[in-house]
Amino acid sequence: MSNIFYRKQYKKIGSMKSGIEIIIDTIKVTRELIEYLSAIERPRTISFTDKVKVIDENCFYHMNIDYISFNSAINIEQIRTGAFKKARRLHCVDCFENVKILEESAFEETQSEDCLYLPNIKQIPANCFKNAKFLSIITPNAEQVAESAFDGLQVENLKNC
Predicted local confidence at residue 101, as pLDDT: 96
Predicted local confidence at residue 93, as pLDDT: 65
Does residue 146 contact residue 157 with C-beta atoms inside 8 Å? no
Global confidence as pTM: 0.82
Predicted local confidence at residue 148, as pLDDT: 96
Q: What are phi and psi of 93, to 5 degrees?
A: -95, 15
Predicted local confidence at residue 2, as pLDDT: 42
Q: What is the largest CA-CA distance in the chain?
A: 46
- The CATH number covering residue 73 comes to 3.80.10.10
Q: Distance from CA of residue 159 to its chain's centroid?
A: 20
SS3 67: strand
Does residue 84 contact residue 58 with C-beta atoms inside 8 Å? no
Mean pLDDT by 10 residues, the chain (161 residues): 50 52 84 82 74 93 75 87 87 78 95 86 96 91 95 76 41
- Give 26's contacts (C-beta < 8 A, 6+ positions apart): 3, 4, 5, 33, 51, 52
Tell me which residue range forms the domain holding 106. Answer: 4-159
Q: In the chain, how many domains are there?
A: 1
